[in-house]
Chain A
Amino acid sequence: MKSFKIFALLMIAVFLLGACGPAAPETIKIGINAPITGDIPKVGEGSKYAAEMWLADIEAAGGLEVGGKTYNVELVIEDNESKAESATKVNTKMITQDEVLVIVGPQSSKQAVPAGEVANNYSTPMVSPWSTNPNTTLDRPWVFRGCFLDPFQGPVVANFVSDEFGFTKAAVLYDVASDYPKGLAENFKAAWEELHGEGSVVAYESFTTKDTDFSAQLTSIANSGAEFFFAPQYYNEVALIVQQAHELGWDAPIVGSDSWGSAETVELCGEDCYGLFFSTHYAAAGATGATKEFIDRYEAEHGYVPDDVGALTWDTLHLVQQAIVDCGEITGDIAVDRQCVRDALASITDFNGITGDMTFTEEGDPIKCAVIVRISDAGEYEFYKSACP
């Protein structure tokens, strides 16, 4: 027994030593914090595939050239299980153990808001491609994002519905336990009431994550006199909400937000979702130029049209790449290099991405346009309208 204990201790010691080995200075490590499992695995898959495509390009070019020296790039892809607490653990591990230069992710605000805190405390640059909640970057000089914000998206949806349908009475159904839907629901409500006056949001119903039955809330919405309802939810809930609404006799429009843009929404929802509108970052159907090149390549490699998460992750990695190159020198002192990358990110202007042009503000948020997408009768995401700040 005693010898076993000694053996076990030795094994632990060897393991710890192994994990703490010094990083080779010729390699630049980039962390990817993504929801590979959990509630929204399709989002994690899109992030991973886009990141691997980016890495393949770098490797094909023989590495990343910074200040006349070529470096290997290594991606550290970790799963945050779509949980806030796991996302902070992943960030801590990638920063302190793997010593990554910069972190890309987490994707949804539920994870990005707490994980941003960790990155900021450890003075490590982090860029979330998809998190639209303002708190992700608020008062955090080390945290950036690759997409627009909910205070922008909320009015985009409110204006679109007012102009397009001429409605004046709105309802909202959202998940109160998740940062993204809750924040966006509030922003939408504020924007709608500014347009149509106090009390024009006639039903403001909520549920909590993992609920599957929304019949009580939908019955209230149907009897509230609302002319449409807004459901800023993730793809797994969208299917259930839309189908149940139709089964309760609802035939007015249901409008969504960028979280609808997953490749799996239509697969789960089917014909019930055809003809509905949502606001998002890019429209895959009818794309041109670099955006089309990315879409075609992704589809050829993975068999389906990439969703907005894939496109934003792609853009974000190119942003990070440009920041590293702009930095001009990798000293090998991780603290110095992280500072340098952060400063380079903050000073990027007119970055030309596949989801639009970006310039960072003081807060680390890009100024960019949103698009309104219509789900066509073939289940494709068609460009309908764009809205710029």
Chain B
Amino acid sequence: MTSFLQNIVNALQWGSFYALIALGYSMVYGVLMLFNFAHGDIFMVGAYIGFFVSTGLVALSALGALTLPSWLILTLTIIVAMFLTSFVGMLVERIGYRPLRGAPRASAAITGLMIGIILETGNLALLGAQRVSFPALIESVTYNIGGVFVTNKKVLIVVVSLLLMFALHQFVQRTKWGMAMRAMAVDFVVVPLMGVPLNTIAALTFALGSGLAAAAGILFGVAYPVLDPYMGILFGWKAFVAAILGGRGSILGAALAGFLLGFIEIFVAAIFPSTLRDLIAYSIILLILTFRPHGFFGEAYSAKLRL
């Protein structure tokens, strides 16, 4: 029983990353009908930017130039890195996708793969192949609650992820920009004719998705403090699975599917031989998609728009 509860705690943390990254996929896919395969690498870029910002702030604190408590450093790191990574996302959209907006879908998808490779190898060329160690911003404290071990990091990761998802939901549902995004998701040919600036909305979508990926990257650095240039690839693929499983453009769907993926992976590893984890986990997901091809919250009309 305690191991069951312990695995729920583990799965909540692991699922948070999938959910945050899946949101970025889901939004871009929803609004622009575009597979942004570079998204996993934007997550990696976000983690590295977070690494530089936090290392810089820690160094400044150590020099005595400014005295910041570590929780403030973490908050600042998340905000600054989200902001900077948004620009990376917008840049990717401007350079990689906008020139190809009229091109066949496949060309745009392949562009994403290429941008991903450029980001990975660019990082490799700039920083070399050494792993970097994310600074320990918060002292790890472990609480033993009836045999279940919960760390302050785990709580922080889950809480911050949920807060960000809630904020995104409010933005999309309550603001004019959010309304424009939702309208675009229904028909991105007609809506621009009504005066909604397609390029602005596209850039905004990329900025939001990349910001969330950066937050995921920093939280990842807090939980798993070893960063490498290829860390985003597998994460990107799996989060993409979550985005599709959640349903096109559905924020709630992507978030739920992200957590579901985390739960399936953790519990398969806990119950079956861990060697078979991904084999069993992704067979289950294939089965779900067979019965719900549009995902949990996807709408049937999306297929008609496919070019």
Contact = CB atoms under 8 A, between A and B. Distances in A.
B234 to A, nearest CB: 6
B75 interface: no
Contacts of B124: 37
Contacts of A223: 2-3
A243 interface: yes
Given A212-B224, A240-B226, A268-B226, A219 B129 contact: no
Interface in A229-281: 236, 239-240, 243, 246-249, 264, 267-268, 270
Contact of B7 (A41, A219, A249): A219
B136 A176 contact: no
Interface stretch (B19-27, B244-252, B270-278): B270-278
Interface in B1-54: 2-3, 6-7, 10, 13-14
Contacts of B269: 207, 216-217
A219 B225 CA distance: 20
A292 B226 CA distance: 31
A186 interface: no
Given A219-B3, A236-B228, A41 B10 contact: no
B133 A268 contact: yes
A36 interface: yes
Is the contact region of chain B dominated by helix, strand, or loop, or is it mixed? helix
A220 B225 contact: no
B225 A239 contact: yes
Contact of A249 (B131, B136, B149): B149
Contact of B224 (A176, A240, A267): A240
Contacts of A212: 220, 224, 226, 231
Interface in B259-303: 265-267, 269-270, 273-275, 277-278
Contacts of A39: 228
B173 interface: no
Contact of A219 (B10, B140, B142): B10
Interface in A44-73: 44
Most buried by A among B3, B133, B153, B275: B275
B46 to A, nearest CB: 16
B226 A247 contact: no
A210 B149 CA distance: 25
A38 B128 CA distance: 10
B19 to A, nearest CB: 14
A248 B7 CA distance: 10
Most buried by B among A44, A217, A249: A249
A96 interface: no
B110 to A, nearest CB: 23
Nearest to A264: B131
B274 A207 contact: yes
A210 B293 CA distance: 30
Nearest to A216: B269
Nearest to B152: A247
B175 interface: no
B128 A41 contact: yes
A268 B274 contact: no
A248 B143 CA distance: 9
A3 interface: no
Contacts of B273: 206
Contact of A247 (B14, B133, B149, B265): B149
Give chain B's interface residue range (CB within 8 Å of chain A). Answer: 35 or more
Contacts, number: 94
Contacts of B200: none
Contacts of B234: 210
Given A216-B269, A236-B226, A247 B130 contact: no
Contacts of B142: 246-249
A215 interface: yes
A243 B234 CA distance: 22
Nearest to B266: A216
Contacts of B199: none
Interface string A219-231: 1101100000000
A341 to B, nearest CB: 31
Given A176-B275, A206-B275, A268-B225, A249 B14 contact: no
A42 interface: yes
Contacts of A38: 129
A213 B14 contact: yes
A216 B151 contact: no
A189 to B, nearest CB: 14
Contact of A248 (B131, B149, B270, B275): B149
Contacts of A36: 129
Contact of A243 (B2, B154, B225, B230): B225
Interface string A27-42: 0000000001111011
B58 to A, nearest CB: 14
Interface string A197-216: 00000000111101011011
A217 B149 contact: no
A246 B3 CA distance: 16
B144 A249 contact: yes
A236 B131 contact: yes
B72 to A, nearest CB: 22
Contacts of B133: 239, 267-268
Given A223-B2, A248-B149, A268-B131, A216 B7 contact: yes
A-B interface, 3 closest residue pairs, ranked by CB to CB distance from nearest: A41-B129, A215-B10, A216-B269
Interface of A: 36-39, 41-42, 44, 176, 205-208, 210, 212-213, 215-217, 219-220, 222-223, 236, 239-240, 243, 246-249, 264, 267-268, 270
16 contacts: A42-B131, A176-B275, A207-B274, A208-B277, A208-B278, A212-B224, A213-B10, A216-B270, A219-B270, A236-B228, A246-B142, A247-B153, A248-B149, A249-B142, A268-B131, A270-B136
Given A219-B7, A247-B142, A264-B130, 10 more contacts: A206-B275, A208-B275, A208-B278, A210-B234, A213-B10, A216-B267, A216-B270, A236-B228, A246-B142, A268-B133
